[in-house]
Structure 1
Amino acid sequence: MKKTEQIWRAEQYMKEVHQHDVSGHDVAHVYRVVSLALYLADQEEKTVDCHVIHLVALLHDTVDEKLFIEHDAIEKLQRFLIEIELTHAEIEDLLHIIQYMSYRGGRNNHVALSFEGQIVRDADRLDALGAIGIARTFQYAGHSGEAMWTGDATFEQLEYASDSDIHALSPSAIQHFYEKLFKLRDLMHTESGRALAEQRHQFMKQFVETFMTEWNFDKSQLDKK
């Protein structure tokens, strides 16, 4: 099967899987990751396999444990990759990247990926940052029945909180920034990914600081009296 046909088939497979998603892992998210991944690949001086990058970016969330029964989703994806006539070695490479590129509470950070995998990992993490990252965080919190924020800490207190203190907080959108999102900037593999991550990281910091000022508005006013 031609590579263009493989990409088209993978795109249709992805759309079928994600067409009804309301958690922030929707078709639009996947297309952004594809665009980011191909952009990052274009910035690199190394020779990379853009076909692998394109396929992985399209299919990266089709086995996400937050969305599906992982074992069943992997088996379904494996059957699809056989259908589009990838070799056994190609399938093994793609599945390794897809299974280990996500953050998963930091558990996958030590897992080595091919350079193509690193590029898609950077792209996926970039879409968790910046304005889109903020929007997706609150979308997922609402989808999961979590609050925007439940604590009474100030922005300054959160900035200096330990990981154990953050983990002890009730799940919320704001907690997620400290539990995961603010850590992603320092985990980027590519130089171009790091540059984009820095911009998006600073935007999120400003947002959370403003959010916490507004959240604690009554308390801050009373403290001034």
Structure 2
Amino acid sequence: MGVTARDMEERQRRTLQMAEKLVESTMAGRDASHDAAHAFRVRDLALSLAMEEGLDNHSLEIVEIAALLHDIGDYKYSKDLVEDTSIVENFLNEEGLEESKRHKILGIIKGMGFKNEVAQIFCGDSSLEFGVVQDADRLDAIGAIGIARCFTYGGSKNRILHDPKIPPRQNLSKENYINKSENQTTINHFHEKLFKLKDMMKTEAGRKRAEKRHIFMVDFIEEFYEEWNGRT
């Protein structure tokens, strides 16, 4: 007797449960900007965008797993600032996912980073699955949540809040963006990255949601400068 639809559903449920546990265990102890809650928010956003874009159940599984696992090997939390997908690769192999799904999920994760587009590196994936996962991650980087995450990460690195003498960096290379030893401020991160994300959305659903979050963020920074300069 072959594998039934019910068997497949049970396997998918188990894989998702194990992915959630992996996220919680591997991302424990991180600051709140890139913790398990971030991964779960991105998963929920990605599924919402995927359904709005009309993706089928096969694609939804890829989207959900990629969104959940996308930050496990984040270079910012590695000793050598190198992205490491080995934990994710081992997990996908152990769960017995089809090779095509494993390849797709890993391709999405490896191509998602802002650093790649800074360097104009083609990720090799222009699919809707990639688009909704990347858009979901970027939506979580802007708006009210994005502001909170930005200041949380900056604080965790003892980064200067704001210094008018340190201008935002222009024409960033991948190396400059990754190099965390350069003089940086938390406020400059809005100009160097966060304000750019609205126009980098890949899906129509992502663009619609980004608009509101972007406006909220711009208003916040304008108010910040007013207060910093004692004008309000």
TM-score range, shorter chain: 0.7 to 0.9
Match for residue 189 of structure 2? 176
Which runs of 5 or more structure 1 residues have no equivalent in the other structure?
A: none
Which runs of 5 or more structure 2 residues have no equivalent in the other structure?
A: 1-7, 177-181
CA shift for structure 1 position 23: 4.7
Selected match of 1:58 from 68, 91, 95: 68
- Give the partner amino acid of 1:111: C
Selected match of 1:44 from 38, 42, 53: 53
Match for residue 191 of structure 1? 204
Counterparts of 1:152 and 1:212, CA distance in 2: 14
**SS of structure 1 residue aligned to 2:218:** helix
TM-score by length of 1: 0.85
Residue pairs, 1:182-221, within 5 angstroms: 182-217=195-230
CA shift for structure 1 position 44: 1.0
Counterparts of 1:116 and 1:73, CA distance in 2: 21
**Aligned residues: percent identity?**
36
Contact 2:75 2:83 (C-alpha < 8 Å) held by counterparts:
no
Contact 2:110 2:123 (C-alpha < 8 Å) held by counterparts:
no
Counterparts of 2:206 and 2:121, CA distance in 1: 16
Counterparts of 2:16 and 2:43, CA distance in 1: 11
Deviates more, 1:192-201 or 1:70-79: 70-79
Match for residue 110 of structure 2? 99
**SS of structure 2 residue aligned to 1:174:** helix
Q: Aligned Cα RMSD in Å?
A: 2.6
TM-score by length of 2: 0.82
**SS of structure 1 residue aligned to 2:73:** coil
Count of residues in Structure 1 that have an aligned counterpart in Structure 2: 212
Selected match of 1:78 from 81, 89, 93: 89
Match for residue 31 of structure 1? 40
Contact 1:100 1:108 (C-alpha < 8 Å) held by counterparts:
no
Match for residue 150 of structure 1? 163
